[in-house]
Amino acid sequence: MMNARLPGFLTLLVGAAIIIAFLPSSALAHDSYYWFNPIGWDNHADIDYKIDASIPGSAGSAFEDRIHSSVGRWNSQCCIGTFHFDDVGNGDRAFNDPCNWKEDATDVWVFHAEIGIPGVVGENFHCTVYHQQQDYTDIHSGRVTFDEDYTWYTGDDGNPPAGQYSVADVAVHEFGHDTGTFKGGNATEGTSGGHWVPAPSTMCASGGAESDWTMCGPTFDGEGYKIPLEPHDIDTFQDFY
């Protein structure tokens, strides 16, 4: 009798252990410190972007090339999959107030302009609409800006000279916001401007091994910032979609 029951009980334990081991545990899921509330485009599988005439160099310049290659990193790796460069009618869009553009067919405009806050290297702005009844916010248009007060490095090797800022690094970060993830929903929980936050999680801790993740709070300080995308960035974004 004992011999018959013991193997059955053991098998039950083994079965449970196997399943628990292979299922993604809630303890391994993302904690509240770096969960973000993604808000989406009407059609997040088809987001057009245009490059304003303010971007240095003529069409096809190294500056533009770095923007395209950074966008390509998201397109090739992540869930959203489809930023499309709209090569028609680029340029001369008014820089400010993205909500004035919401009737425009183009989704994201990329600028080189004076942002206006000292120390700010890059900026991402969106025009959003909150639909009260559905409790849902969507994006109508966006704007990526490289501040004109800084010297921009157009190489693609992640190694800008001292005092210069990498177009590729900043572009991939800003278009990370354009995947539909930006401001977190609750400041008291430490969600932080669409970035993975440093504390109390070890993510993005200053000087830490993870501080070069693409969507960490950016400190675009040349050599200290590496070209993404890191696995954590990819995994986290993929979880949104």
Interacting residues with another protein between 139 and 178 (CB under 8 A): 140, 150, 165, 170, 173-174, 177
Pick 59 or 129: Cβ nearer another protein: 129
Cβ nearer to another protein, comparing 68 with 140: 140
Q: Does 58 bind another protein (CB under 8 A)?
A: no
Site for another protein in 95-134 (CB under 8 A): 95-99, 102, 115-133
Query: Of the two residues 85 and 150, which places its CB atom closer to another protein in the complex?
Result: 150
- # chain residues binding another protein, by CB under 8 A: 81
Class of residue 79 by CB neighbours under 10 A (exposed 0-12, middle 13-18, buried 19+)? middle
Cα dihedral 176→181→183→188 (10° resolution): -110
Q: Give the footprint of another protein on residues 36-55 (CB under 8 A).
A: 37-39
Contact between 52 and 90 (Cβ < 8 Å) = yes
Identify which of residues 91 and 224 has a Cβ nearer to another protein in the complex. Answer: 224
Q: Buried (b) or exposed (e) across 111-132, using 16+ Cβ within 10 A?
A: bbbebeeeeebbbbbbbbeeee
Report, in Å, the least distance between residue 166 CB and another protein. 12
Span 193-232, contacts to another protein by CB under 8 A? 193-195, 198, 206, 217-221, 224
Question: What's the CA gap between 33 and 195, in Å, rounded?
Answer: 10
Residue among 112 and 126 whose Cβ is closer to another protein: 126
Neighbours of 210 (CB within 10 A): 15
- Distance between first and last Cα of the chain: 53
